[in-house]
Amino acid sequence: MATRLSAAGFTPRVTDHDDHTRIELEVADPVSAGSWQELLAVLEAADRFGLDVSSAGGRLAWAAIRRNAPATGDTVRGHTHQL
C-alpha cells in the first residue's frame, strides 16, 4: 500500500502496532484526478480507513490493516477515528 501511495505522489508514514499497521499521509490541495483515484483504491483495500479534515484546511488520509484478519473474509470497512 505504501509503495502504491508513493508512486501516486504521496508521502506515506507507516507505523506498526500490536494488532494492525497504520498508514497515514497528508493530502495536499490540489490533488490530481489520477492520484485521488489511486488513493481511494488503496484506502478501499484496507480494513479501516478515513479522511480527517482540520479546521485549518489540512487533510490526513489513513488506512489500517489488521494483522490477523478473520478467515471468513467478512471485513467491516469504514470510517472511524479510533485505532
Outline where the chain has alpha helix (H). 2-7, 33-44
Cα separation, 41 vs 67, in Å, equals 20
Q: Which pLDDT does position 64 carry in this prediction?
A: 95
**pLDDT score, position 66:** 95
> pLDDT digit string (tens) for 51-75?
999 878 789 999 999 988 665 554 4
Other CB atoms within 10 A of residue 43 CB = 20
What is the per-residue pLDDT for 5? 92
This prediction has a pTM of 0.75
Strand partners for 50? 62
> What is the number of alpha carbons within 13 Å of residue 55 lying toward its C-beta?
0
- 2, 65 in Cβ contact below 8 A? no
For residue 81, what pLDDT is reported? 44
pLDDT value of residue 74:
47
